[in-house]
Amino acid sequence: MPWRKRQNLAVGLDIGSYAVKVCEFVETGINCRRLVKLGSALLPEGAMADGILNDPEAVGQVISALMKNLQIKNKKVAISMSGYSVIVKKINLAVMSEKDLANHIHTEAEQYIPFDIDDVYLDFQDLKTNTEQADRTDVMLVAAKKDVVNAYLTMLKGIGLQPVVVDVDAFALENSFAEVGVTDENVALVDIGASKMSINILNRGTSILARDVVMGSWQITEQIQNQCGLTLEEAEAVKTGQREPGEQRECIEDIFVKNCTQWILEIKKALDFFLAGHSEEGIDRLILSGGGARIKGLDQFLSEETGIKTEIFDPFATVTINAEHIDTEYVKYMAPEMAIAAGLAIRTADL
């Protein structure tokens, strides 16, 4: 095996609407990593919404405090985005060289982007789906509003960090799964955060569909609090199975069923889209991540409703962990919620 210099990796920084998650790996060999830092911190209410920095100063303070608390010295970070300001679209184009595609994509993108083309950053990936019989290929097009991206970059630079990667949540999740998953299957990755759900369907390792849905697990907590007479802390504990529902069981179960049914409808829409073009293949597994994956019984409910084997994702399944420095029980608890941060943390920090 040829010698390869170990890469310097970026710190994975997942800035959600509810909390900031941080993950850092170090390479210990070829495709071997050790988890060295892991943590999360709550954001002030309203500081982030739909991928937009409403209060950059407050978000920056939380990130700074978390990095300091974890004693992270690496200043190079990888972040990801989602929300209405990010557009992900798969388009079909004639096969052309990468240079020609780069020149052509700007003109082609105008018909797919609902913003002024001069107001967005564009990126693309040729999925190389062409065959000997067809000289056309699928291209994954990504556009993000410049003012939103620039706000993140300004905030991060303002607290002394150097952003080296700006990704999309769904693709960061895909990278995370690729490190521990099987690539010759058809898999639906479903990440349920506090305020949104990311769905990414992979056809043997290639993204076929990436979609964000504005609904998340925090709405369940709020509904339990408001409708069942519990405190916010009690509602969150009941949601994750850390507290028995007691006399409020019927009220809580009704909230679970209504919300989870909405999630399943959105997941089924994505699955139907995939199956329309891959009816003979089907979906082998549904991989559940995000804070919502902790909802007691959700994986079983999804499996029953979709007929697809459902598993809770562990992005740390193939990395080593120093139990003397990191609480392994904490890692186990946080694992589903750290999927996007872990996918970002495997990106190289070398510009």
What is the value of pTM for the model shown? 0.90
- For the chain, give the secondary structure using H, E and C: CCCCCCCCECEEEEECCCEEEEEEEEEEECCEEEEEEEEEEECCCCCEECCEECCHHHHHHHHHHHHHHCCCCCCEEEEEECCCCEEEEEEEEECCCHHHHHHHHHHHHCCCCCCCHHHEEEEEEECCCCCCCCCEEEEEEEEEEHHHHHHHHHHHHHCCCEEEEEEEHHHHHHHHHHHHCCCCCEEEEEEECCCCEEEEEEECCEEEEEEEECCCCHHHHHHHHHHHCCCHHHHHHHHCCCCCCHHHHHHHHHHHHHHHHHHHHHHHHHHHHHHHHCCCCCCCEEEEECHHHHCCCHHHHHHHHHCCCEEECCCCCCCEECCCCCCHHHHHHHHHHHHHHHHHHCCECCC
What is the per-residue pLDDT for 212? 86
Q: Are 173 and 341 in contact (CB under 8 A)?
A: no
Task: Report how far apart, in Å, the C-alpha atoms of 117 and of each of 109, 183, 231 are.
Answer: 8, 35, 47
- Comparison of pLDDT for 232 and 158, the residue scoring more: 158
**Could you give phi then psi for residue 147, rounded to 5 degrees?**
-65, -35
DSSP bridge partners of 125: 140
pLDDT band at 323 (very low <50, low <70, confident <90, very high): confident
What is the per-residue pLDDT for 2? 44
Residues whose CB falls within 8 Å of the CB of residue 33, separated by 6 or more in sequence, listed in order: 9, 25, 26, 27, 319, 320, 346
What is the per-residue pLDDT for 168? 92
Given strand 136-145, what is the order of strands in its sheet? 86-94, 136-145, 120-126
Q: Is 6 exposed, middle or buried (0-12, 13-18, 19+ CB in 10 A)?
A: exposed
Q: Report, as an integer, the average pLDDT of 77-95.
A: 90
Q: Report, as an integer, the average pLDDT of 304-330.
A: 92
Two structure tokens written together for 347: 């990106």
Does residue 237 surpass a pLDDT of 70? yes
Nearest in space to 25 (alpha carbons), one of 6, 40, 43, 42? 6
Q: Report, as an integer, the average pLDDT of 300-326.
A: 92
Radius of gyration in angstroms for the set of CA atoms belonging to the chain, rounded to a whole number: 20
pLDDT band at 5 (very low <50, low <70, confident <90, very high): low
What is the per-residue pLDDT for 11? 97
What is the per-residue pLDDT for 300? 93
Residues 169-214: pLDDT tens digits? 989 999 999 988 777 899 999 999 888 898 999 988 888 888 888 8
What is the per-residue pLDDT for 6? 65
Nearest in space to 141 (alpha carbons), one of 169, 174, 168? 168
Q: CB atoms < 10 A from the CB of 132, how many?
A: 5
Q: Which domains does the chain have, with CATH numbers?
A: 11-345 (3.30.420.40)
Averaged pLDDT of the chain = 90
Does residue 167 surpass a pLDDT of 90? yes
Could you give the CA distance from residue 306 to residue 266 in angstroms, rounded to a whole number? 11
What is the per-residue pLDDT for 351? 62
Does residue 258 surpass a pLDDT of 50? yes
Residues 335-349: pLDDT tens digits? 999 999 999 999 998
Could you give the CA distance from residue 62 to residue 113 in angstroms, rounded to a whole number? 33
What is the per-residue pLDDT for 1? 37
Given strand 285-289, what is the order of strands in its sheet? 206-213, 197-203, 186-192, 285-289, 310-312
What is the per-residue pLDDT for 236? 86
What is the per-residue pLDDT for 58? 97
